[in-house]
Amino acid sequence: MEENKFSSISKVDTLEGMGEFWDEHDFTEFDTDAPDSVFDINCAVPIEPDLLSKVEKQARKRGVSVETLVNLWLQQKTMEFASSS
Protein backbone atom coordinates (compact mmCIF):
# COMPACT_ATOMS: atom_id res chain seq x y z
CA MET A 1 0.00 0.00 0.00
CA GLU A 2 1.05 3.58 -0.50
CA GLU A 3 2.66 5.38 2.40
CA ASN A 4 0.20 6.89 4.92
CA LYS A 5 -2.71 4.92 3.46
CA PHE A 6 -4.85 2.87 5.81
CA SER A 7 -7.55 0.32 5.19
CA SER A 8 -10.83 2.05 6.00
CA ILE A 9 -12.17 -0.85 8.07
CA SER A 10 -9.13 -2.58 9.53
CA LYS A 11 -7.17 0.64 10.15
CA VAL A 12 -3.92 -1.12 9.20
CA ASP A 13 -1.38 0.08 6.70
CA THR A 14 0.06 -3.15 5.30
CA LEU A 15 -1.32 -5.93 3.15
CA GLU A 16 -0.12 -8.42 5.77
CA GLY A 17 -2.01 -6.52 8.46
CA MET A 18 -5.18 -6.52 6.36
CA GLY A 19 -4.83 -10.26 5.81
CA GLU A 20 -4.49 -10.87 9.54
CA PHE A 21 -7.47 -8.61 10.25
CA TRP A 22 -9.74 -10.44 7.79
CA ASP A 23 -8.54 -13.83 9.06
CA GLU A 24 -10.08 -12.84 12.40
CA HIS A 25 -13.16 -10.88 11.22
CA ASP A 26 -16.15 -11.40 8.96
CA PHE A 27 -17.48 -8.80 6.53
CA THR A 28 -20.96 -9.16 7.98
CA GLU A 29 -19.69 -7.54 11.18
CA PHE A 30 -19.26 -4.32 9.19
CA ASP A 31 -22.12 -4.65 6.69
CA THR A 32 -24.32 -1.70 7.52
CA ASP A 33 -25.81 -0.62 4.23
CA ALA A 34 -24.32 -2.84 1.54
CA PRO A 35 -27.02 -4.04 -0.86
CA ASP A 36 -27.79 -7.73 -1.09
CA SER A 37 -26.32 -9.46 -4.12
CA VAL A 38 -28.10 -11.98 -6.28
CA PHE A 39 -26.17 -14.13 -8.71
CA ASP A 40 -26.46 -17.31 -10.72
CA ILE A 41 -24.12 -20.23 -10.27
CA ASN A 42 -22.93 -21.98 -13.39
CA CYS A 43 -21.48 -25.43 -13.33
CA ALA A 44 -20.28 -27.81 -15.99
CA VAL A 45 -21.45 -31.40 -15.95
CA PRO A 46 -19.95 -33.80 -18.46
CA ILE A 47 -22.62 -35.38 -20.68
CA GLU A 48 -22.08 -38.24 -23.09
CA PRO A 49 -22.16 -36.91 -26.67
CA ASP A 50 -25.00 -39.23 -27.75
CA LEU A 51 -27.13 -38.23 -24.76
CA LEU A 52 -26.47 -34.54 -25.42
CA SER A 53 -27.63 -34.97 -29.02
CA LYS A 54 -30.89 -36.50 -27.80
CA VAL A 55 -31.42 -33.71 -25.30
CA GLU A 56 -30.69 -31.08 -27.97
CA LYS A 57 -33.25 -32.72 -30.26
CA GLN A 58 -35.89 -32.69 -27.50
CA ALA A 59 -35.13 -29.05 -26.72
CA ARG A 60 -35.54 -28.06 -30.37
CA LYS A 61 -38.87 -29.93 -30.52
CA ARG A 62 -40.10 -27.97 -27.50
CA GLY A 63 -38.67 -24.65 -28.67
CA VAL A 64 -36.52 -24.14 -25.59
CA SER A 65 -32.80 -24.06 -24.88
CA VAL A 66 -30.96 -27.15 -23.71
CA GLU A 67 -30.31 -25.40 -20.38
CA THR A 68 -34.01 -24.69 -19.87
CA LEU A 69 -35.02 -28.26 -20.68
CA VAL A 70 -32.35 -29.79 -18.44
CA ASN A 71 -33.32 -27.50 -15.55
CA LEU A 72 -36.99 -28.38 -16.01
CA TRP A 73 -36.26 -32.10 -16.04
CA LEU A 74 -34.01 -31.84 -12.99
CA GLN A 75 -36.68 -29.90 -11.11
CA GLN A 76 -39.28 -32.54 -11.99
CA LYS A 77 -37.04 -35.40 -10.86
CA THR A 78 -36.04 -33.75 -7.59
CA MET A 79 -39.73 -33.08 -6.81
CA GLU A 80 -40.53 -36.76 -7.56
CA PHE A 81 -37.77 -37.92 -5.23
CA ALA A 82 -38.81 -35.45 -2.52
CA SER A 83 -42.44 -36.60 -2.60
CA SER A 84 -41.48 -40.29 -2.45
CA SER A 85 -39.16 -39.84 0.55
Give pLDDT tens digits for 11-46. 888 889 989 999 999 888 887 777 888 888 888 999
Q: Is the dihedral of CA 52, 57, 61, 66 positive or negative?
A: positive
Q: What pLDDT is stored for residue 72 in this prediction?
A: 97
Between 58 and 37, where is the model more confident?
A: 58
Residue 77: pLDDT over 50: yes
Between 42 and 58, where is the model more confident?
A: 58
**Cβ–Cβ < 8 Å for 51, 58:** no
Report the residue count for the chain: 85
Residue 4: pLDDT over 70: no
| End-to-end CA separation in angstroms for the chain | 56
